[in-house]
Amino acid sequence: MTFRRTIMQSNFDSVLDSAGAGRPAKLKIRLKVALLPRDPSVPGNAGVGVQHPVHLANTEAQVRYGQMADANQQPVNCRSWLVYEWNAFQIRFKKIVELAWNNQMFLLPPDGSAKEGGLSDFDFSQLVYSAKVPAYVECALDIALMPTTAGSHAQIEVVHLAQPDLNFRAWMH
């Protein structure tokens, strides 16, 4: 078995870094996400492959209002994002998603020889960073926020609730 260091796909990319001095091998799933600040004044769902109605307001005077249906098709009062709110949201989104996923999964290499579906000595050595710790691969998620939908793996429309609503149900397609 030979390791493929990088795999690029339409729904995610993956990168495998070998173990080094004092650090384990790491498998990173890279997800290119376009977060779209939804314009609440445009009703309905943009749907797959349709231009997403987006709007950012520089000032309170530019804020737009409207109702958006949640996952239960219940109308919820929403407003535009202010630029500074949007920037803060994107930073929090990336941080929280990565924190929730990172260090949750570890891959253990198979036992046995390369002939039996295991790893060669060379491949196995790339997963060992310390003689005192068994070989393993740490898994991580790397969110790359994209400025547009071009080249992204996922597009997520993000509404800004006019008032916090504990009954709001999110959905994605």
The residue segments making up the domain with residue 38 are 6-161
Of 25, 28, 2, residue with least CA distance to 129: 25
Q: Can you tell me the mean pLDDT for 146-173?
A: 82
pTM of the model: 0.79
Residue 166 belongs to some domain of the structure: no
Residue 72 belongs to some domain of the structure: yes
C-alpha 24: how far from chain center: 22
Number of domains in the chain: 1
Residue 172 belongs to some domain of the structure: no
Of 169, 156, 150, 138, residue with least CA distance to 20: 138
Provide the pLDDT for residue 171. Answer: 61
Residue 87 belongs to some domain of the structure: yes
Residue 48 belongs to some domain of the structure: yes
Provide the pLDDT for residue 166. Answer: 66
pLDDT at 64 over 90: yes
Provide the pLDDT for residue 145. Answer: 95
Residue 143 belongs to some domain of the structure: yes
Provide the pLDDT for residue 33. Answer: 95
Residue 170 belongs to some domain of the structure: no
Could you tell me the pLDDT band of residue 29, with boundaries at 50, 70 and 90?
A: very high
Strands (E), 9-90: 13-17, 25-37, 56-57, 65-69, 75-79, 81-82
Q: pLDDT by residue (tens digit) across 79-124? A: 999 999 999 999 999 999 999 989 788 888 876 655 666 677 777 7
Residue 1 belongs to some domain of the structure: no
